[in-house]
Amino acid sequence: MADSTRTVSIDAEQLAGRRFPYQEDISLVEGIDLMAATPGDDLNWLEDIEMLTEDGYPAVFDRYSNSFLKIYFDVPSGRENEIARKVLVKHLQDGNSYGITLKEIHCKFPQVELGPWVAESKTIGTDYKPPVLEGWEAPSGH
Amino acid sequence: MAGVGTKSGVKYDARGLVEPDAEIPHVSEVDGKSARFDAGNLTTRQINLELRDLIYVQGMEDVTVVNPGSKNSLGVGILKRVNLTFEGSPGWFACGLIDGPQVRIKGRVGWALAENMMSGTVVVDANAGSLTCAAIRGGDVLVNGDVGARTGIDQKGGTIMVMGDVGINTGFMMQRGRQIIAGNAGDGLGDSMYDGTLYVGGTVASLGVDCVEGEWTDADTEFIERKYRIYDLGTPPTFQKFVCGKVLHNYDSLEPSERKLVL
């Protein structure tokens, strides 16, 4: 994607700096088990996830980075919401959501790196150190 | 420690903002992947530190908190799949900001249960206070008793189920999601709602501004029956459906960018 691209939307590709294979290939998400990826006996939070449109493309909203993840393959008719949920869960399970990539550096208390969409994930945030801007000193009196 | 006061045996700093003791108490009885501890003599901070240690560091899959003692802000910020049980009644802001746990509260609970919840399930055996599920974004919350006022205020997703009655202004400024209310609803149901769906099995004292009766579809029947089946709630009563009349607020024409903020 060209650096000069300007948009008023928040795009998952722009945040990550790249496009992901599962945005272009439905076979990479067909095997996703949505029930296994969510707590409880139904789709739980994925019940609120549906196929939307962004910049003219089918897209799913990633609430963990406040961005849209566009879908470039042909979505089978009648399966729009299912595919949107599978693409989103694949994005999250692969740890590609921009908000999640920031957690290892910035989270302040112990928590799992990924979320409840995976059975196991490493614990991060056990040794938080505030980032220090090189050459910066606190103003006197602070 | 200078500037430290006490209230009901719990220490607070001079600002009243935080308990000074940040040590993990390590008081749990552990059996394999299950843990249990008595919170009766612990502070809110100690209880939450113990929970985080058990869930994140020790990898417990079932955790039981005995004697929560109506302390506020218990079980908050848990971002992992785990079975968490409270044997007793937590206070205000229980289980806020959670993402994944399956919580059972064997008691009642104070104001603002599961506020800002992202995913998971919360089941309360008895009543819950006002502001239950404020700003919830996802997941299921079931209250088997009554709830107070403004249930699901600013709701942005998820499903709230109340087997008893709800107070005034239920669904106030609701933006997405669903509420199943088996009992009666107080005045101002769905006041100023933007979107979402309210199902009421009992009577409605009065509708709020721009809340109107909606058309029942097969999807509504499937949804209600599925939730009743999953949570073993018996046979559902006949529900009325209420939605936004789209007169007062309309994202599409007035606030297209704001609509994205509630997704």
Q: What is the pLDDT of residue A109?
A: 83
Picking from A34, A42, A48 by the largest number of B CB atoms within 10 A of its own CB, the best residue to mutate is A48
Interface of B with A in 218-257 (CB under 8 A): 226, 230, 257
Contact residues for B49 (Cβ-Cβ < 8 A; gap 6+): B22, B23, B24, B25
Cα distances from A121 to residues A30, A94, B121, B174, B209, in angstroms, run: 23, 11, 20, 34, 46
Over residues A67-124, the pLDDT tens digits come to 999 999 999 999 999 999 999 999 999 999 998 989 988 888 888 999 999 988 999 9
Over residues A43-65, the pLDDT tens digits come to 999 999 999 999 899 999 999 99
Residues of A in contact with B118 (CB under 8 A): 45, 63
Q: What are phi and psi of B31, to 5 degrees?
A: -135, 100
Q: What are phi and psi of B128, to 5 degrees?
A: -130, 155
What integer best gives the mean pLDDT of chain A?
91
Angle at B77 between CA A92 and CA B37, to 5 degrees: 125
Residue B40 in tokens: 């009766």
Total-model pTM: 0.92
Distance CA A136, CA B133 (A): 42
Residue A59 in tokens: 């897209």
Residue B220 has pLDDT above 80, yes or no: yes
Give B131's Cβ-side CA count (13 Å radius): 13
Q: Which residue of A has its CA nearest to B232?
A: A41
Q: Which of B79, B257, B263 sits opposite A61 (nearest CB)?
A: B263
Distance CA B53, CA A110 (A): 8
Give B123's Cβ-side CA count (13 Å radius): 14
Over residues B161-171, the pLDDT tens digits come to 999 999 999 99
Q: What was the ipTM of the complex prediction?
A: 0.89
Q: What are phi and psi of B190, to 5 degrees?
A: 65, 25
Q: Do B81 and A119 touch (CB under 8 A)?
A: yes
B152 touches chain A (CB under 8 A): no
Residue B127 in tokens: 């009543």
Cβ neighbour number for residue B186 with a 10 Å cutoff: 18
| Nearest Cα to Cα of residue B92 among B56, B135, B142, B134 | B134
Residue B9 in tokens: 């045996």
